[in-house]
Chains A and B, each alone.
Chain A
Amino acid sequence: MIRLQKDTAKDLIGLHGWMGVALGLLLYVVILTGTLAVFEQELATWANPLPEPVPTAFPKGIGPVLNDIYQRNDPAYGDEVFVFPAADGRLRALFHTHIESDEGHGVEKGVLALIDPTTLTVVDEREGEVEALFHESSSTVLTDFLVDLHVRLLLPGQWGLLLTGILGFAMLAAAVTGFVIHRHLFKDMFTLRKRGDSVLTARDAHVVAGTWNLPFAFMLAFTGAFFSFGGAIGLPAIAYVAFGGDVDTVTEEVLTPPIPTDESPAPLYDLEAIFDDARQRTGLELTGLQILHWGRADASVQMSMQTAEGKLLPDHLLYQGATGEFLGVKPSLGQEPSLGGDLAGLMSPLHFGNFAGLLSKIVWFAFGFASAYVTLSGLRLWTARRRDAPGWAWLEKLTGWVGYGLPAGLALTAAIFLTAGTELSLVFFAAAGLLALPAFWLESDRYSSLNRYLLAVLLLLLPLVRWLSGGPLGWSTLPGVLAVDLVFLLAGCGCLLSIRRKPVTPETLRLAESV
């Protein structure tokens, strides 16, 4: 229990509440989309499945397929090659180089190939500027949109990263002030008064979820802010201080393997033999591949392996490209193992929760859900208490719109994408606009209920829409897809049941928030 002076406590309560009011809705968008993005792979597979499950990201025989792509394209594109599985299991192979554009600034140009790992066939291959290629050739449009909404709030350039970075710090501040102002946080860990017995249920539910979620709220907020600010500010800042502002040189210094430059031509060693050696050394499968200077004597082949059981970070194996000689295990950042490199490497598993398969994903999803619930319930408590004051009624409606309209809008966007496959941003904004309309004639409680009904109905309809749009149906062929269907059905039923329960009245919320 933290004892505070009355004035300090009052100031902190104000800070906690006003910060929530100012940034809470945007924070809720980031948290909710991040929570869904924990299951990015499962959702991408659900939306656009391969004919059969993919047993491994890099199947046997992928080496010759990559070699064919290299042979039939401009050899300059072998300068940097990245091969990695998309969220839906298809492999993306990017062969590219850095050139100077007509306007005089550096651009990346190359070939992006999409490979079906079950048949080892190239299903799509495009040449052009890299940024545009990723936009044009994607098999994971739906989850790309979800991730973009989470990472950048659909804002262009670095603005989105800056905003989500600020929101990460706002979440940290809300967690700290929440921890300090709830004086009996740990004593109240199990205190949840039954609905109908007490007007404090709403506040209890907010505090209980916040308490149990506290350590992970800190962790997710910090790692999220790290990712946002790392790209938007951190890297340019390092480049400015130590590399004359050249971000490419920083990246090269940090990520390029320490192999002496030798531009003389030399064929790449048998990729399949290198892959097999890596599998034998680790007992694990590949998850990513980077080849630098394909076709030169100083070529390097670096592979990311699966994370071993009990570990947080995967190993990266480095080979001499021309000879196939094993050069060692490379740290994920820099050329030598370092505390900074390890800490930076830890940010990814700590934020994404993907280090122990489905189990860790379920736990991370639960914390994301709890954080979203704490944000929304906090906003509802705050606005309901002030609903009679001018302007606050609209914030309450706005909370209902974002709180329940956002998931409903996302479900509607997914349904339209499955049937029509149109531009998702437009569909999403149209859906959001449509869902906002009833707010003009319904009072806020009815408006929130309407959005919750819509959400429930859309969740229940999603599996049907997927099936009617040509998706697979048999459990034996793609159990993962049907498992996601089942989750949508259960979530829809849960949503309906929660609406049928006795609603928390505005009076309850007002009394609860004032305690």
Chain B
Amino acid sequence: MSIQAFTLIAVAFSLVCLLLLALSDPKRARVSRRAQVMVLSAETRKALTILSILPTLVFVPFGLYAPLLLWLGSVLVSGWLLALLLPLFAEVEKSMGTSRRFSKIQK
């Protein structure tokens, strides 16, 4: 597998973690006045945060600093785009979230 392909896989992996973090973000749901699409415990969210930066454990020991920078940059840009795009899918999220534990969010 080429270094570039591995970098792209690492970006995709971190992006999935970010997506789960965004969907389970209690503050995002609270300020949008809708139920959470996904409810995760604080520990699980912390674990997801750590998982999202896991690729650094491969890049740093092997001295792959260019892929590290590319991965970091891509993940940060993707995170920004995710934050910008998710409100556009508010209606979808709303319909998904109505059956969830709305009372928990209101606490």
Q: Is the CB of B67 within 8 A of A310?
A: yes
**Does chain A have a CB within 8 A of B27?**
yes
How many Cβ-Cβ contacts under 8 Å join chain A to chain B? 87
Nearest A residue (CB) for B79: A212
Against B, the Cβ 8 Å flags (1 = close, 0 = not) of A345-368 are: 000011001011001100110110
Q: Is the CB of B72 within 8 A of A215?
A: yes
Q: Is the CB of B83 within 8 A of A363?
A: no
Q: Is the CB of A190 within 8 A of B73?
A: no
Q: Report, as a range, how many residues of chain A touch the other chain.
A: 20 to 34
Closest Cβ of chain B to A221, distance in Å, is 16
Give residues 46-79 of B contacting A (CB, 8 Å).
64-67, 69-70, 72-74, 76-77, 79
Closest Cβ of chain A to B39, distance in Å, is 15
A364 to B66, CA, bound (A): 13
Q: Enumerate chain B interface residues (CB-CB to A < 8 A).
A: 2-4, 21-22, 25, 27-28, 31-33, 64-67, 69-70, 72-74, 76-77, 79-80, 82-84, 86-87, 90
A188 to B80, CA, bound (A): 12
Closest Cβ of chain B to A250, distance in Å, is 29
A363 to B73, CA, bound (A): 6
Closest Cβ of chain A to B65, distance in Å, is 5
Residues of A within 8 A of B66 (CB): 307, 310-312, 349, 355-356, 360
9 nearest A-B residue pairs (beta carbon): A212-B80, A363-B73, A310-B3, A366-B77, A190-B22, A190-B28, A194-B87, A312-B66, A208-B83
Q: Is the CB of B84 within 8 A of A192?
A: yes
Nearest B residue (CB) for A184: B27
Q: Is the CB of B31 within 8 A of A193?
A: yes
A189 to B74, CA, bound (A): 16
Residues of B within 8 A of A335 (CB): none
Q: Is the CB of B70 within 8 A of A360?
A: yes
For this complex, 7 residue pairs linking A to B, each with C-beta atoms less than 8 Å apart, are: A188-B27, A193-B31, A212-B79, A307-B66, A311-B65, A359-B70, A370-B77
Check A192/B83 contact, CB under 8 A, given A197-B32, A215-B76, A311-B66.
yes
Q: Per a CB cutoff under 8 Å, which of B2, B4, B22, B27 touches A359? A: B4
Residues of A within 8 A of B76 (CB): 212-213, 215-216, 367
Q: Per a CB cutoff under 8 Å, which of A191, A194, A363, A370 touches B70? A: A363
A187 to B31, CA, bound (A): 12
Residues of A within 8 A of B80 (CB): 208-209, 212-213, 366, 370
Q: Is the CB of A191 within 8 A of B31?
A: yes
Residues of B within 8 A of A194 (CB): 32, 87, 90
